[in-house]
Amino acid sequence: MGGVFGIWSEDNCMERLWYSMFRAQHLGEKYCGFATSDGKEIRGKNRKGLVLVRFPHAEMPMLIKDYSGNCGISHVSLKERQPRILDDFAVAFTGSIHNAEDLKWEMKMGGHTFPKKHTEISVVSELIAHGKDIPEGIKYMASRIKGSQSTVVLNKDAVYAFRGKYGFKPLMYGQGKGFVAVSSTSRALEFIGIKREDIRDVLPGEIIRLSEGCVETVERLYGDNPELHVCSFGFSYGGDISEVVDEKSVKMARERMGAALARRDKQKGLEADVVMPIPDSGRGHAIGYHHEFGIPYDEGFVKDPYVTRTYIQPTQEEREFLADLKLTVIREVVEGNRLVVTDDSIVRGTTMKKRIHQLKNAGAKEVHVRIATPLLIDVCPYGVATKKKEELAYFQYGRGVEGIKEFLGADSLKYNTIEDYVEATGLPREKLCLFCCTGEPYEL
């Protein structure tokens, strides 16, 4: 996961760039960085760690002075430092390139050199450098890579943005007072002053240019009505609850997912005392469940504010360590009650098993686990963290819900059906990527 942002502004863009990184932090916590142009020179910086820690807001006067410019790009990531600055342009990218090693080898044979530690951004930027200008370079890059992407490119007087084939990765733009901006997340655009009703989605295969207060379409590589298969996981987990993805509210999608789970439980006659979320990702689902079922909603866990987002950490060891530190049970909510516990998904199952153990140790009478995302049966090839099929609970515990329930120690376990999940997003099935739930790939 990761996020990109680009801006053209009548005045210095640095402060808005900082806020864009901060507001996209949920998409990647390992690296953050930016690049700006004053019309003569492109300068930038990237650091390892959180925006607030590595670029403290107290440094803003210095950042504005040292990186002044009216256009710029920024990036957050869990896997590599960006943006990458070449002679006359800078690039930031989020996605996953399946043929990166083949492209790297081909270009090395042609005389290109790469950083000692190879990264996907080095492949993307070298491919763009093949073009006679930025749009031609983006077209060439798009024709060569196989994978998912959203990319922003900064030259000395403009920002270009490109959303890859099928639009797996959200990318949107809008106009504020004296500036135009493009972003992976609507919350960054809204925070810097763009109204939600003024936000538009970049089409799959569309190249746009931001300059002189305007956003113009340079080219649409796949026509005016391209296929869209945006990642469905963004609705249940990846996106922030305040966002919109392809004009659909993440908050409302999560509440509808919870309501769908509740309807099935009402029909089956489940008896429960409290519905509670695994914070923060299960909260919207629990609220929807509460409204539909009618049982009280409460918070049975308190989240440690100093622990970062666990799923997007780069290694399983880091994920499990932070998961152990993250939540503390509120005994007064749990003890003696039959609990419905909601969460976005079960990937490996190890974290949920620990949560159920915590709840039962605190006196929960029953724990009924309800999962918004359908059963995950394959790993994402388009840029989400899990890489190995054998890590999935589906493969580890008997390829079925009952085996996973036994491993977890839950009193019952239910997932949303694919049909209910799709309906909850507000998008038709043909506009969503459901590969992790169905194993049905798309030709890249």
Average pLDDT over residues 428-441: 93
Question: Does the structure show a pLDDT above 80 at 316?
Answer: no
pLDDT for position 233: 93
Average pLDDT over residues 183-201: 98
- 220, amino acid identity: R
133 CA to centre of own chain: 30
At residue 309 the predicted structure's pLDDT band, cuts being 50, 70 and 90, is low
Tokens of 130: 């093949």
Q: What is the pLDDT of residues 246-282, one digit of tens each?
A: 999 999 999 999 999 999 999 999 999 999 999 999 9
Question: Does the structure show a pLDDT above 90 at 203?
Answer: yes
Question: Which residues are CB-contacts of 255 (< 8 A; sequence separation ≥ 6)?
Answer: 284, 285, 287, 288, 291
Beta bridge pairs of residue 45: 34
Q: What is the pLDDT of residues 342-393, one digit of tens each?
A: 999 999 999 999 999 999 999 999 999 999 999 999 988 876 555 688 889 9
Q: Does the bond joining 83 to the residue before it have cis omega, within 30 degrees of 0?
A: yes
In this structure, the number of other CB atoms found within 10 A of the CB of residue 129 comes to 18
Find the helix packing angle between 418-425 and 250-268, rounded to 10°: 140
Question: Does the structure show a pLDDT above 70 at 37?
Answer: yes
**pLDDT over 90 for what percent of the chain?**
82
pTM of the model: 0.92
Question: Strand order of the sheet with strand 172-176?
Answer: 42-48, 31-37, 71-77, 2-9, 179-183, 172-176, 200-201
Q: Within 13 Å of residue 277, how many CA atoms lie on the same side as its CB?
A: 23
Ramachandran angles phi, psi of 282, nearest 5°: -90, 0
Q: What is the pLDDT of residues 99-115, one digit of tens each?
A: 988 998 888 888 877 77
Which domains are present in the chain?
2-228 (3.60.20.10), 248-438 (3.40.50.2020)
Beta strands at 214-220 and 172-176: parallel, antiparallel or unpaired: unpaired
